[in-house]
């Protein structure tokens, strides 16, 4: 990510008027959840306060000299004192609320209900009902219903390529693209090949609500090259096979990098697309374990899943992902059967998330040098791993929370996941080789 793009993102963030909620404040479902939130609040307070104390003097001294150094030191000292105290108070509040909610949580779990973290209530969950609700609406309908705000356009170049206005609808963009593509297609005129390429590029960016929003706010600098590749091409280029789509769903790097969007409709769209992805993966996991449930022979199961693993472990990056997927399957299966604490899994997940955030922040604060290329590759891989982990956690949760599936079948699914996970973990990988492989794709050797 270059300096110009970072500056544009910073300008966009400075326009925000909504305050950042640093700590967990919503009501936890039980004492354990309250304790985790409390520890996280305390940790966030300490880390943020310490970061402010160490970074602000250096940052302000670069802008205001010695005066800025002392100014930053004063602000940093206030942060070092107040943020940990705030984290402690909020943490104790979370623990108290969790203890208060524990009896109710116990009764609801006994009845087979699950906790909806968004709605903050207990209910009977069914995967089929959620699928019917989510898939009854497509993304175009979602945008037309929810898009009520206009975005200021930073760069009109791509709109000019398609000869449309910045407020054109998705339908109008598609109609204009087909009209221009028909005229400039290389089969009709080789002289228009360059123009045809530009039309295609403009259409791929503007026809997708996420990349269009990013382009509107940041211009062409905000659109990374990967956004010009569809998901099938992305899987083939990065992982060597499209078959991984069955296990991981639609990974789009530009979607993962769109979290800085100020457009609430775009954020809601990302959540909508992710909900669809989680449901599809949940159904695919059920299909994956189905062979295990139908066969009593361990040898047959072993041969089937070993062959499956070999077919999708094509290159260093795909081998890394399959090993990671196997680890997740084993952890989640053991957690459901009670062999491994779900709290422990969430804690491990949070540690990986914090590690990723630290790498991203440290890279943004440092001056660019040759070593940054390796760090950028690590951030890309960590972003993919974090996305996969979050998605698999939510997808398997849907299976284990489904009220229509018996406890016996859920336990069988968990044992199948452990069996498959152990096989997938055999995938040989080298993290360093994965970094080199990814770097060679993004920055091909000359």
Query: How far is residue 281 from each of residues 15, 233, 284, measured CA to CA in Å?
Result: 37, 20, 5
Are 383 and 402 in contact by the 8 Å Cβ rule? The answer is: no
pLDDT at 42: 92
Are 359 and 346 in contact by the 8 Å Cβ rule? The answer is: no
Are 201 and 212 in contact by the 8 Å Cβ rule? The answer is: no
Domain that holds residue 282: 127-151+225-442
Give the alpha-carbon dihedral of 243, 133, 395, 36, to 10 degrees. 150
Whether 397 and 359 share a structural domain: yes
Which of these three, 182, 199, 223, is where a domain ends?
Answer: 223
Exposure string of 126-139, with b = 16+ CB inside 10 Å and e = fewer, is ebeebbeeeeeeee
Whether 391 and 419 share a structural domain: yes
Are 272 and 139 in contact by the 8 Å Cβ rule? The answer is: yes
Whether 102 and 58 share a structural domain: yes
Whether 289 and 433 share a structural domain: yes
Longest dimension (CA), the chain: 74
Backbone angles phi, psi at 122, to 5 degrees: -95, 140
> What is the number of other CB atoms lying within 10 angstroms of the CB of residue 230?
12
Whether 331 and 430 share a structural domain: yes
Whether 189 and 273 share a structural domain: no
Query: How far is residue 364 from each of residues 1, 73, 214, 285, 356, measured CA to CA in Å?
Result: 9, 21, 19, 38, 13
Which of these three, 121, 140, 168, is where a domain ends?
Answer: 121
Instruction: Check which CATH number belongs to the domain holding 204 and give it.
Output: 1.10.287.110
Query: How far apart are alpha carbons 159 and 316 in whole angstroms?
Result: 39
Query: How far apart are alpha carbons 63 and 72 in whole angstroms?
Result: 11
Are 61 and 70 in contact by the 8 Å Cβ rule? The answer is: no
Query: How far apart are alpha carbons 143 and 272 in whole angstroms?
Result: 10
- Residues 6+ away with beta carbon under 8 Å from 307: none
pLDDT tens, per residue, the chain with 446 residues: 344 444 443 444 444 434 446 788 888 888 988 998 999 999 999 999 999 899 889 888 888 888 889 998 999 999 999 999 999 999 999 999 999 999 999 999 888 888 887 778 899 999 999 999 888 877 666 665 555 445 578 788 889 988 998 888 878 888 888 888 888 777 666 666 778 888 888 888 888 777 787 788 777 766 654 444 455 556 677 777 788 889 998 775 544 544 445 556 667 777 888 899 999 999 999 999 999 988 877 888 899 999 999 998 888 889 999 999 999 999 999 989 987 656 666 666 666 666 655 555 555 555 555 555 667 777 778 888 888 988 999 999 999 999 999 999 999 999 999 999 999 999 888 888 888 887 787 676 66
Query: How far apart are alpha carbons 221 and 214 in whole angstroms?
Result: 9
Q: 24 burial class (0-12, 13-18, 19+ CB within 10 angstroms)?
A: buried
Whether 290 and 403 share a structural domain: yes
Query: How far apart are alpha carbons 137 and 403 in whole angstroms?
Result: 24
Are 399 and 411 in contact by the 8 Å Cβ rule? The answer is: no
Are 49 and 85 in contact by the 8 Å Cβ rule? The answer is: no
Whether 143 and 188 share a structural domain: no
Which of these three, 205, 223, 241, is where a domain ends?
Answer: 223
Name residue 259's beta-bridge partners.
none
Whether 176 and 319 share a structural domain: no
Query: How far apart are alpha carbons 120 and 117 in whole angstroms?
Result: 5
Whether 269 and 170 share a structural domain: no
* Rounded to 5°, angle at Cα 359 from 234 and 248: 30
User: Which of 111, 105, 86 is CA-nearest to residue 34?
Assistant: 105
Whether 69 and 100 share a structural domain: yes
pLDDT at 344: 65
Whether 380 and 251 share a structural domain: yes
Structural domains counted in the chain: 3
């Amino acid at each position: 990510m270059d300096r110009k793009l970072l500056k544009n993102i910073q300008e966009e963030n400075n326009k925000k008027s909504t305050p950042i909620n640093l700590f967990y404040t919503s009501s936890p479902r039980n004492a354990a959840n309250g304790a985790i939130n409390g520890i996280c609040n305390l940790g966030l307070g300490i880390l943020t306060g310490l970061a402010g104390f160490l970074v602000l003097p250096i940052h302000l001294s670069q802008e205001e000299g010695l005066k800025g150094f002392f100014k930053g030191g004063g602000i940093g000292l206030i942060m070092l004192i107040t943020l940990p105290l705030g984290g402690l108070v909020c943490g104790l509040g979370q623990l108290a609320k969790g203890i208060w909610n524990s009896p109710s949580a116990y009764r609801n779990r006994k009845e087979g209900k699950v906790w909806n973290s968004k709605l903050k209530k207990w209910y009977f969950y069914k995967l089929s009902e959620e699928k019917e609700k989510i898939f009854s609406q497509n993304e175009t309908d979602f945008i037309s219903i929810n898009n009520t705000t206009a975005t200021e356009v930073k760069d009109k170049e791509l709109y000019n390529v398609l000869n449309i206005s910045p407020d054109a609808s998705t339908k109008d963009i598609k109609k204009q693209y087909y009209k221009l593509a028909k005229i400039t297609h290389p089969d009709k005129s080789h002289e228009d090949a360059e123009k045809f390429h530009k039309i295609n590029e403009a259409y791929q960016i503007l026809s997708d609500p996420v990349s269009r929003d990013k382009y509107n706010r940041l211009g062409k600098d905000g659109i990374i090259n990967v956004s010009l590749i569809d998901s099938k091409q992305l899987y083939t280029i990065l992982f060597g096979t499209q078959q991984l789509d069955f296990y991981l769903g639609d990974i789009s790097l530009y979607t993962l990098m769109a979290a800085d969007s100020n457009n609430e409709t775009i954020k809601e769209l990302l959540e909508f697309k992710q909900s669809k992805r989680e449901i599809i993966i949940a159904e695919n996991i059920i299909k994956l374990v189905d062979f295990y449930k139908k066969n009593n022979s361990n040898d047959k199961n072993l041969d089937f899943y070993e062959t499956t693993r070999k077919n999708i472990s094509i290159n260093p990056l795909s081998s890394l992902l399959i090993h990671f997927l196997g680890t997740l399957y084993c952890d989640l299966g053991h957690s459901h059967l009670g062999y491994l604490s779900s709290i422990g899994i969430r804690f491990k997940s949070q540690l990986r998330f914090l590690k990723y955030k630290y790498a991203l922040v440290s890279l943004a604060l440092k001056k660019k040098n040759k070593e940054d290329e390796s760090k950028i590759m690590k951030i890309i891989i960590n972003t993919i791993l974090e996305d996969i982990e979050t998605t698999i956690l939510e997808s398997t949760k849907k299976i284990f929370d489904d009220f229509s599936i018996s406890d016996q079948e859920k336990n069988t699914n968990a044992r199948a996941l452990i069996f498959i996970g152990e096989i997938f973990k055999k995938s040989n990988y080298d993290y360093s080789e994965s970094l080199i492989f990814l770097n060679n794709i993004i920055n091909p050797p000359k």
